[in-house]
Amino acid sequence: MEYKNKRYLLDKRPVGMPEDDCWKMNEEIISNLNKNEILIEVKYLSIDPYMRGRMNDSRSYAAPAKIGEPMTGETAGVVVESNSKLFNIGDKVCAHKGWQTYIKAKDTDPALLKVPETDIGLSSFLGTLGMPGRTAYFGLNRVGKPKSGETLVVSAASGAVGTVVGQLGKIYGCYVVGIAGGQEKCSYVKDVLQFDECIDYKSGNLDDDLKKVCPNGIDIYFENVGGPVSQAVAPLLNNGSRVPICGFISQYNEQDMMKIETPFHVFGSLEPKPEHRFFVVTEWMNEWEKATQEILKLVSEGKMRYRETITKGFENAPQALRDVLTGRNFGKQIIEI
């Protein structure tokens, strides 16, 4: 049987916000499978802030996306053909194989992850139960090292990573303060996710508002945004504080990363220095399954909530990435193919 695979190929590297002409749509026919290969029909595409960094041809923790290759990204889908003993037709799979609608892959490819059988929607395995959830889990536990009674501040608190960090913090007995953009997101973080407080960074009083809700200073700051938020947090950090640096989305479109003040400059110049480092979820790859099971249990028991923005149509992926980079999405941004 023949399958028509639509792919978004990276066509040029962006300057600033990535416009539509950075990608070109390409179609290929997939027909026969070789031994030990499977074919996945993609149902959902994940849109994440890190994708902007992969579009640059600069030194980073991961190789840049190549011109003429499918744009970097994670998808979730269903096996429609199998020439493998490891996967059956109907199996649900997450695949880190880029922006495409069908994926032909070797059954032992480490970029494939089988989704456990559950009533929870497949798209959530790209968010809370996927890479963002695992990023939150390992970043908080291994770099943040939370203790009961400590003050934890989370930026981008209504996003795919931030929501999980804050809810885990509450489960671990921390006093949790979120920072988000706009009243609607702040209400969600405080009223639905049950953070102790949530500060609106768009209100114009970030420094004072943060000081007011952190009377005992800050023990852990989970960094997702950089910029003015890092600067507001820095003077409130306690001795012995920890800063897991997941990303700094407010600065991803800068043309020259060497010329901007990143969180590394902000926190590295403090005296005493907080324990701070950039981390990547792949550091704990051998424990991914265990972390997903733990988060899945919390979701099933109603102890972990999440929200998704699902946009229909593969052709809307470029706009969805711009929405994520400007904070227009709410929760995890997904494209439904």
Rounded Cα distance between 184 and 198, Å, is 11
Tally the domains of the chain.
2
Same domain, 136 and 19: no
pLDDT tens-digit map of 84-105: 999 999 999 999 999 999 999 9
When pLDDT is cut at 50, 70 and 90, the band that residue 261 belongs to is confident
The reply to whether 328 and 223 lie within a common domain is no
Say if 205 falls within a structural domain: yes
Q: Are strands 218-222 and 308-312 parallel, antiparallel or unpaired?
A: unpaired
| Contact criterion met (CB below 8 Å) for 167 and 192 | no
Q: Indicate if 155 and 211 belong to the same structural domain.
A: yes
Cα distances (Å, whole numbers) of residue 15 to 21, 236, 247, 255, 317? 11, 35, 19, 6, 18
Let me know whether 278 and 315 are in one domain.
Answer: no
Same domain, 146 and 116: no
Beta strands (DSSP E) in the chain are 3-10, 23-30, 37-47, 75-82, 92-95, 102-106, 112-114, 151-155, 175-180, 197-200, 218-222, 237-245, 275-278, 308-312, 332-336
Residue 262 banded pLDDT, cuts 50, 70, 90: confident
Helix (H) or strand (E) holding 210: helix 206-213
In a domain, 149, yes or no: yes
Q: Round to whole Å and give the CA distance between 260 and 190.
A: 32
Q: Can you tell me the mean pLDDT for 244-249?
A: 90
Indicate if 211 and 165 belong to the same structural domain: yes
CA distance 133 to 136: 5
Amino acid 248: pLDDT: 87
**Contact (CB, 8 A) for 179 and 154:** yes
Residue 150 included in any domain: yes
For residue 249, what pLDDT is reported?
Answer: 80
Q: To 10 degrees, the CA torsion angle through 69, 74, 76, 81?
A: 30
The predicted pLDDT at position 286 comes to: 92
Domain limit, last residue, from 282, 297, 327: 282
Question: Given this model, what pLDDT does residue 257 score?
Answer: 57
Q: Pick the last residue of a domain from 267, 282, 297.
A: 282
pLDDT at 273: 94
In a domain, 38, yes or no: yes
Helix (H, G, I), strand (E, B) or coil at 223: strand
pLDDT at 160: 95
Q: What is the pLDDT of residue 256?
A: 64
**Is 318 domain-assigned?**
yes
Q: pLDDT, tens digit, for every residue of 191-238?
A: 999 999 999 999 999 999 999 999 999 999 999 999 999 999 999 999
Q: Is residue 295 domain-resident?
A: no
70 and 89 co-located in one domain: yes
pLDDT at 251 over 90: no
Q: Is the same domain home to 313 and 276?
A: no
Q: How many C-beta neighbours within 10 Å does residue 314 have? A: 18
Dump pLDDT digits (tens) for 268-327: 999 999 999 999 999 999 999 899 999 999 999 999 999 999 999 999 999 999 999 998
Residues 219 and 160 in one domain: yes
In tens, the pLDDT along 33-45 reads 999 999 999 999 9
Q: Report the chain's mean pLDDT, rounded to a whole number.
A: 94
CATH of the domain at 66: 3.90.180.10
Q: Per residue in 106-154, pLDDT tens?
A: 999 999 999 988 999 999 999 999 999 999 999 999 999 999 999 999 9
Q: Tokens 């032992």 map to which residue?
A: 108
Classify residue 226: in a domain, yes or no.
yes
Residue 331, pLDDT score: 92
Which pLDDT score, from 0 to 100, does residue 253 have? 73
Dihedral sign (CA 298, 187, 159, 201):
negative
Q: Is the whole-model pTM more than 0.85? A: yes
* pLDDT on residue 250: 73
Domain of 191, CATH number, reads 3.40.50.720
Same domain for 142 and 100? no
Of 238, 265, 282, which residue sits at a domain end? Answer: 282
Which pLDDT score, from 0 to 100, does residue 222 have?
A: 98
Residues 321, 196 within the same domain: no
* pLDDT attached to residue 63: 81
Looking at residue 57, what is its pLDDT? Answer: 86
Domain residues for the domain of 62 are 3-127+307-336
- As given in the structure block, the two tokens for residue 97 are 């194989």
Domain identity same for 138 and 277? yes
In a domain, 287, yes or no: no
pLDDT at 266: 94
